[in-house]
Structure 1
Amino acid sequence: MKKAIVLLSGGLDSSTALYVAKNEGFDEVYALTFEYGQKHDKEIESAKAVARAAGVKEHKFVRLLLNQWGDCSLTNPAVQIDKGNVNRTDIPATYVPARNMVFLSVAASYADALEISDLFIGVSETDYSGYVDCRESFIKAMEEAVNLGTVLGAEKKRRITIHAPFLHMTKADEIRLGIKLGVDFSLTWSCYRGEERPCGTCDSCLLRARAFAEAGIEDPLLKK
């Protein structure tokens, strides 16, 4: 059986990446969700719902308290989440230092233990909100690192591949693909705030709204 590990936050990108893995013939999908000190658990609850709907083989939760340092507005209660700006070029306050590097390192450890050579992550350079760890250069470098630092890659010569299917895809095209693959976007959560409904003003909400509008599809979260 073909096996893959998917980093599943419960957001739009990671949820679609999970369905891409299944569509590409990976019979057993292992979902990996991180509790990294977020101010709310809305995405984690969404990850649980998406994993159930997709029928993953196993869903692991890893607790890494990245809120112990830094002034990230997603993890530090003293730092407010700024109003969104989809045209920003600077690093936003929502950036969690080296988050994807940490997550992929843990995923590589999981892969090494289970001898799984395919990892999926839903990052994109096209709509990446200024996050440096969502770029192709980082993904390629990280792939080399995990192959040098795991028995699976270095000794057993089963090269670990980091799949980032949306690197050069717009979120609108990603949503269109997700609809074709059967993703239930009503189960996902993108908002940086953990309220009952999406705030509609943070970077993530603005990017999501633009993507659904460009795709010509109504966001099911806004129907609730």
Structure 2
Amino acid sequence: MKKAVVLLSGGLDSTTALYLAKSQGFEVYAISFNYGQRHKKEIESAKKVAEKADIKEHIIVNTNMNAWGGSALTDSNIQVPDGDENRADIPVTYVPARNMIFLSYAASYAEAVGAQDIFIGVSQVDYSGYVDCRKEFIDAMENAINKGTVCAVEDNKPIKIHAPFMNMTKAEEIKLGMKLGVDYSLTWTCYNGYENACGNCDSCLLRIKAFEEAGYKDPVKYMEK
């Protein structure tokens, strides 16, 4: 069976990507990151998703990107701002080079387990403007990985980064996930680490809009306003 490493945050996108990889016949190795984020609740969601999906392996990498901060998600001195669907600038929730770091870990993991495929749930359609969610970045990372791994350079077994939702809206993604049997009640999207989702940050607003457009009820509980 082909092997694939899936970056699993516990959110809507990564969970759908995991189920898509399974549907395509891959033996799934999921990798999650406890990187000092304020919304650590997503780690528990990732564990639940991985358990229910019955995948081959799920590992959690502990790192400390909060040591240098620079983002509302890792720096307690920066507040998560109210969401703005029309935002044109890069929001303070951008974590410096996060996907570059995560994909580097995923490449190492993939080479170690003999996987030639990596799945990541990024999109350049419905997202918060992050530069590391764009096709140019994904293509560049794939090229770098295949210049710096023995499996690609010496063994002629290059690694492919799959970003299946790159040009899909989140509504389209949810419709796909429903067909694949994704249990979205297990996922966590909110940038805040409250008991219930805030319903007001960029990530929550994108999720709420997506479920409405897809015609499904969002199973996640939100804070009363």
Q: What band does the TM-score fall into relative to the shorter chain?
A: over 0.9
Any residues of structure 2 matched to 1:120-199 within 5 Å, and which? 120-199=119-198
2:4 matched to 1:10?
A: no
Query: What displacement does 1:222 show?
Result: 3.3
Cα distance in 2 for residues equivalent to 1:200 and 1:134? 22
Counterparts in 2 of 1:223 and 1:86: CA distance versus 1, 3 Å: closer
Q: Which amino acid aligns with 1:201?
A: N
Any residues of structure 2 matched to 1:1-224 within 5 Å, and which? 1-26=1-26, 28-222=27-221
SS at 2:221's partner residue?
helix
Residue segments in structure 1 that go unaligned for 5+ positions in a row: none
Query: What displacement does 1:155 show?
Result: 0.8
Cα distance in 2 for residues equivalent to 1:19 and 1:197? 25
Contact 2:211 2:217 in 1 (8 A): yes
How many corresponding residue pairs?
223
Q: Which amino acid aligns with 1:171?
A: K
Cα distance in 2 for residues equivalent to 1:223 and 1:193? 11
SS at 1:220's partner residue?
coil
Query: What displacement does 1:50 show?
Result: 0.2
RMSD: 1.2
Q: Which amino acid aligns with 2:159?
A: I
Deviations 1:63-106 (A, max 9, x none): 12111113211111111110001111111010000000000001
Cα distance in 2 for residues equivalent to 1:203 and 1:197? 15
Q: TM-score, normalised by structure 1?
A: 0.97
Query: What displacement does 1:223 show?
Result: 8.3
Q: TM-score, normalised by structure 2?
A: 0.97
SS at 1:200's partner residue?
coil
Q: Percent identity?
A: 64
Cα distance in 1 for residues equivalent to 2:222 and 2:68? 37
Cα distance in 1 for residues equivalent to 2:42 and 2:222? 18
Cα distance in 2 for residues equivalent to 1:39 and 1:47? 15
Cα distance in 1 for residues equivalent to 2:151 and 2:120? 19
Cα distance in 2 for residues equivalent to 1:183 and 1:157? 35
Deviations 1:22-75 (A, max 9, x none): 01111x200000011111321000000000010111111111211111321111
Residue segments in structure 2 that go unaligned for 5+ positions in a row: none
Q: Which amino acid aligns with 2:7?
A: L
**Runs of 4+ in structure 1 over 6 Å off:** none
Cα distance in 2 for residues equivalent to 1:214 and 1:195? 26
Cα distance in 2 for residues equivalent to 1:71 and 1:30? 30
Cα distance in 1 for residues equivalent to 2:88 and 2:154? 41
